[in-house]
Amino acid sequence: MNDLRAMTKGKLPGSETGIEIRHTICDICTPGPQCGIDAYVKDGVVIKVEGTPGFPTNQGALCTKGAANRQYIYRPDRIRTPLRRVGKRGEGRFEPISWETAMEEIARGLNRVKETYGPESVAFMTGYPKWYRPWLQRLAFSFGSPNYFTESSTCHKSETMSWRLTYGCEMRQDILGMPEVLVGWGCNPLVSAYPMGRSYYQYKEQGGKVVIIDPRRTPTATQCTDLFIRPRTGTDGYLANTVARLIIENGWADMEFIQAHVHGFPAYREMVMGYTVEKAVEITGVPEEEIRELARLIGTAKKAIVQPSNGLSHHKNGLSTHRAVICLNALTGNVNKPGTLFPAWDTAADMSAGFRTYEGEFATERFPQKARPRVGAGRFPLWCEMFYEAQAMDLLRFWKAEESYPIRAMYAHGVNHRMYPESSGLLEMAGEMELVVAADLFMTDFCRHADIVLPACSSFERGEVKSYPGGYINYTSPAIAPLYESRDDVAIITMTANALGLDDPLLRAGYDISVKHIYRDVPLDLDEVKAAGLPSKVECGAGRDYFAAPLNTPTGKIELYSERIAKYEADYGLDPLPVFSDGFDCPPTAEFPMSLITGGRLTNAVHSRLHDVPWLRDLRPEPAADIHPEDARRLGIAQGDEICLVTRLGRIRVKANLSAISAPGEVNFYHGYREANVNEIIPKEHLDPYSGFPGYKQLRCRVEKAEVTM
Ligand SMILES: Nc1nc2c(c(=O)[nH]1)N[C@H]1C(S)=C(S)[C@@H](COP(=O)(O)OP(=O)(O)OC[C@H]3O[C@@H](n4cnc5c(=O)[nH]c(N)nc54)[C@H](O)[C@@H]3O)O[C@H]1N2
Ligand SMILES: Nc1nc2c(c(=O)[nH]1)N[C@H]1C(S)=C(S)[C@@H](COP(=O)(O)OP(=O)(O)OC[C@H]3O[C@@H](n4cnc5c(=O)[nH]c(N)nc54)[C@H](O)[C@@H]3O)O[C@H]1N2
Ligand code: SF4
Ligand SMILES: [Mo]
């Protein structure tokens, strides 16, 4: 900590230049890295950014995206003032109004909908940004609506479900211990999570073996692996269960551990015995020797970690696949010992920092117990049982369903409709609302459909508390004043709570007071942490002993057979065992012979938000799909040709990028592009019945050379 300050101090350029270094964080990709940034500020303007030396996550480095922060925060389409719509929805004609007027109109509109239809008719929504979520959630609940939607309806929470169903809580790899074998199952951290990527290199340097399992030949797969296994997309459930069978047959299962800590082993064993290596080769396309080698590596290592990622969850069979993969850790007893898996702590802001806070209680204690059932409750009961959130992927159906109540208003922070399969449905829905409020940094197409648009500010312009693995807490101060008339999201939520006159003094008191409430057990003075401006260390004590108390599952054990899922077996057809099922949206046909994987991450993009940042866009200027050179040759397609990706729902026009990153027969395209939005051709009903997650990464498609337009 002291070293950290000393190092940074040495860099101060001196008062004669008028340049000051202020510490802030990068919020482009949250919450994993949340890299520390030294902002060089002159006359209130950020003139340069660097990584903060010694910062717990980025250790002074910045990625391509983070280095472009100036272009991001100074994007010319920043919303400057609160706006009121004057044109038709979507037309983009607005007039500036004051914050006071905006708040009066929002409160009047939301209260009118509440009185007419009930509080549930207001949807409180957020996209990818995470930092203000506990406040938004509390706002929804204090207002009386259980309809709080987040982008987590498509991101990570399916993994959380899978861990909790199986292990009772989320498990993370031991950051101190060193496994002999690390299996990154669908992990591409060299692109999607740099700190984790660094740890992969460390394992290798220390003699560990790294296995990557991915249908795409990613940078991680090529740069730091001992074994790269390449199944067809969505077939991992079959692979994992076959590996389980081999582990059991070879006597590598840890029977002592299973006896003591596992529920449902006989049923699980019977299920996996139905999986054969021959069929696995046929379904997954992985050669027999690789399947056997994978089983041997996991089965015989003294310490192994099988670590799955979000990529496995973006499938119609995602939750069961994820469960099939994580069951391998329990099967081999690789839990709760150094160099294996340990329980994660829900510290705050989606981070497991090794100490507890009251963020969860703050966000959910006002949940309206007597409200009508949330969106998704009827269709995804497991989701609704496990989280205080509605399932956003059911919103477009629910809104039109006859059995449901009407949704009449949307209060949205950081919502981008392009996240939703059949995205324009969300704009259509917005068009029929009595009130749509949208807070964003930029004038997005979703904002264009709002009645009131509010200018939010970036992480450089706000103060914010974050925690980091290793027991760090950081409380930033604004590096620059909010641009134009923008305000930070929590300030906007606080103003809204006050304008609505909610009976919730804590929420109405604003950020600093609620932060002190949330972090009240942290043995540090938060004012001092804030004054320091750099991460402070919290004494965390030893790690948690996972088995100290019964686990948070119905049986108190690790459940290979999930009793929680079993409740929904009869009515919803959910299987308590992690069985493999086909994850495609339709059967194979000659019309759609290829597979489409969407949303693998790019080093120069995060969803939709960086496509308009010139430095980053220049690195991959046009929306381009990766297609294997063999497929391209067969289809008469050359590098840079215009092609169409066609699903049974429609087509988008993109450029061809001939690349072996895609396997033959599979095509890979990125999401979030305005001019080629792949989610328009993904059916909104192509969802995992367990979690509600969309099958973004497994669709039938064909690729055509596009007709030349003049
Ligand atoms: N086809 C396909 N679709 C996918 C995925 C995929 O793999 N394939 N991945 C899914 C996943 S995992 C995710 S997480 C989602 C993400 O999907 P989105 O939530 O759509 O992510 P963004 O494009 O980053 O949009 C977030 C919006 O928040 C705004 N914003 C940024 N910072 C702030 C802030 O501090 N305050 C406010 N008020 N607004 C802010 C941005 O300008 C942007 O308009 O996409 C999902 N969609
Ligand atoms: N640069 C960058 N970084 C990001 C983001 C970004 O947009 N850009 N987004 C952030 C967000 S919101 C998220 S959720 C994370 C996601 O980060 P990750 O969890 O790493 O998710 P993805 O990159 O979507 O998928 C990881 C890998 O899974 C593979 N995969 C897809 N389908 C399958 C399958 O069926 N089986 C197997 N074995 N592998 C499969 C993909 O090819 C991909 O290489 O990244 C975060 N980091
Ligand atoms: S975009 Fe890059 S610099 Fe910013 S938080 Fe993510 S990894 Fe760190
Ligand atoms: Mo995500």
Mean pLDDT value across the chain: 94
Q: Which CATH code, of 3.30.70.1230, 3.40.228.10, 1.10.340.30, 3.40.50.300, is assigned to 171-343?
A: 3.40.228.10
pLDDT band at 31 (very low <50, low <70, confident <90, very high): confident
* Greater model confidence, 609 or 486: 486
Ligand nearest to the CA of 57: 3
Ligand nearest to the CA of 613: 1
| Centroid of ligand 1 to alpha carbon of 64 (angstroms) | 18
Task: Indicate left, alpha or beta for 636 from its phi (over 0: left) and psi (-120 to 50: alpha).
Answer: left
Ligand nearest to the CA of 34: 3
At 191 the pLDDT is 93
The closest residue, in CA terms, to atom 39 on ligand 1 is 414
At 340 the pLDDT is 93
pLDDT (tens digit per residue) in 426-449: 999 999 999 999 999 999 999 999
Mean pLDDT of the 413-418 span: 97
The closest residue, in CA terms, to atom 9 on ligand 2 is 606
Ligand 2 probe mutation, 35, 63, 162, 192, most atoms within 8 A of CB: 192
Mean pLDDT of the 29-39 span: 87
The closest residue, in CA terms, to atom 4 on ligand 1 is 419
The closest residue, in CA terms, to atom 6 on ligand 2 is 606
| Centroid of ligand 2 to alpha carbon of 368 (angstroms) | 35
Query: Is residue 651 within a helix (H) or strand (E), and if so which, with residue range?
Result: strand 650-658
- Amino acid identity of residue 491, one-letter, is A
Ligand 1 shell residues, CB under 6 Å: 127-129, 151, 154-155, 310, 314, 413-414, 416, 418-419, 439-442, 444, 456, 489, 598-599, 606-609, 671-672, 678-679, 696
Ligand nearest to the CA of 149: 1
| Centroid of ligand 4 to alpha carbon of 155 (angstroms) | 4
CA distance 435 to 612: 28
CA distance 75 to 89: 24
Task: Indicate left, alpha or beta for 350 from its phi (over 0: left) and psi (-120 to 50: alpha).
Answer: left
For residue 400, CA distances in Å to 375, 394, 405 come to 12, 10, 9
Question: Which residues make up the environment of ion ligand 4, defined by Cβ < 5 Å?
Answer: 155
3-class secondary-structure state, position 197:
helix
At 8 the pLDDT is 47
Give yes or no for residue 503 having a pLDDT over 70: yes
The fold adopted by the segment(s) 594-705 is Barwin-like endoglucanases (2.40.40)
Residue 450 Cα to chain centre, angstroms: 25
Closest among 445, 488, 407, 440 to 140, alpha carbons compared: 407
Q: Which contacts (CB < 8 Å, 24+ apart) does range 56-60 have?
A: 56/468, 56/469, 56/470, 56/472, 56/535, 57/32, 57/33, 57/195, 57/468, 58/33, 58/194, 58/195, 59/198
| Centroid of ligand 3 to alpha carbon of 193 (angstroms) | 8
Our answer on whether the CB atom of 66 is closer than 6 Å to any ligand 3 atom is yes
| Centroid of ligand 4 to alpha carbon of 159 (angstroms) | 11
At 543 the pLDDT is 66
pLDDT band at 216 (very low <50, low <70, confident <90, very high): very high
Ligand nearest to the CA of 671: 1
The closest residue, in CA terms, to atom 42 on ligand 2 is 216
CA distance 285 to 12: 56
For residue 627, CA distances in Å to 157, 585, 704 come to 30, 21, 11
At 5 the pLDDT is 45
Which CATH code fits 97-155+349-477+494-503? Answer: 3.40.50.740
Query: Are 575 and 569 within 8 A, CB to CB?
Result: yes
| Centroid of ligand 4 to alpha carbon of 154 (angstroms) | 7
At 11 the pLDDT is 52
Residue with tokens 């050179």: 629
Ligand 2 shell residues, CB under 6 Å: 29, 155-156, 185-188, 191-193, 213-216, 218, 231, 233-234, 236, 309-312, 315, 597, 599-603, 605-607, 697
At 346 the pLDDT is 81
For residue 172, CA distances in Å to 149, 353, 491, 537, 543 come to 26, 11, 33, 21, 12
pLDDT (tens digit per residue) in 573-608: 999 999 999 999 999 899 999 999 999 899 999 999
Read off the tokens for 648: 């049974």
| Centroid of ligand 1 to alpha carbon of 192 (angstroms) | 14
At 12 the pLDDT is 55
Q: Residue 156 burial (CB < 10 Å; 0-12/13-18/19+)?
A: middle
Mean pLDDT of the 29-50 span: 92
| Centroid of ligand 3 to alpha carbon of 654 (angstroms) | 27
First vs last C-alpha separation in the chain: 62
Classify domain 2-73 by CATH architecture. Answer: 2-Layer Sandwich (3.30)
The CB-side HSE value for 616 (13 A sphere, CA atoms) comes to 24
Q: Residue 292 burial (CB < 10 Å; 0-12/13-18/19+)?
A: middle
pLDDT (tens digit per residue) in 147-201: 999 999 999 999 999 999 999 999 988 766 788 999 999 999 999 988 788 888 8
At 85 the pLDDT is 98
| Centroid of ligand 2 to alpha carbon of 668 (angstroms) | 12
pLDDT (tens digit per residue) in 220-260: 999 889 999 999 999 999 999 999 999 999 999 999 999 99
All structural domains of the chain with their residue ranges:
2-73, 97-155+349-477+494-503, 171-343, 594-705
Residue with tokens 């498990």: 171
Query: Are 123 and 139 within 8 A, CB to CB?
Result: no
Atom of ligand 3 nearest to the CA of 57: 8
Say which range, 2-11, 184-193, 358-367, 572-581, has the weakest mean pLDDT: 2-11
Residue with tokens 């917005």: 430
Q: Which residues of 175-211 are buried (b: 16+ CB within 10 A; e: fewer)?
A: eeebbbbbbbbbbbbbbbbbbbbebbeebbeeebbbb
Query: Are 594 and 631 within 8 A, CB to CB?
Result: yes
Q: Which residues of 34-62 are buried (b: 16+ CB within 10 A; e: fewer)?
A: bbbbbbbbeeeebeebbbbbbbbbbebbb
At 201 the pLDDT is 87
For residue 274, CA distances in Å to 99, 321, 554, 697, 707 come to 63, 16, 27, 26, 48
Q: Give just the sign of the alpha carbon dihedral 154, 156, 162, 165.
A: negative
Strand boundaries in 105-205, DSSP class E: 122-126, 148-149, 171-173, 181-185
| Centroid of ligand 1 to alpha carbon of 607 (angstroms) | 5
The closest residue, in CA terms, to atom 4 on ligand 2 is 192
| Centroid of ligand 2 to alpha carbon of 254 (angstroms) | 31
Q: Which residues pair with 536 in a beta bridge?
A: 473
Query: Are 364 and 356 within 8 A, CB to CB?
Result: no
Q: Give me the phi and psi of 439, to 5 degrees please.
A: -105, 125
Read off the tokens for 330: 């329990």
| Centroid of ligand 1 to alpha carbon of 234 (angstroms) | 24
Contacts of 643 (CB under 8 A, 6+ apart): 625, 627, 637, 653, 654, 655, 656, 703, 704, 705, 706
Strand boundaries in 418-504, DSSP class E: 435-440, 452-455, 465-468, 472-475
Closest among 44, 49, 59 to 26, alpha carbons compared: 49
At 25 the pLDDT is 96
pLDDT band at 203 (very low <50, low <70, confident <90, very high): confident
Read off the tokens for 435: 């009130």
Atom of ligand 1 nearest to the CA of 156: 12
At 598 the pLDDT is 98
At 2 the pLDDT is 37
Atom of ligand 2 nearest to the CA of 232: 35
| Centroid of ligand 2 to alpha carbon of 312 (angstroms) | 8
CA distance 455 to 649: 35
Our answer on whether the CB atom of 35 is closer than 6 Å to any ligand 3 atom is yes
Ligand 1 probe mutation, 28, 29, 441, most atoms within 8 A of CB: 441
The closest residue, in CA terms, to atom 29 on ligand 1 is 414
* Greater model confidence, 389 or 16: 389
| Centroid of ligand 2 to alpha carbon of 87 (angstroms) | 39
At 393 the pLDDT is 98
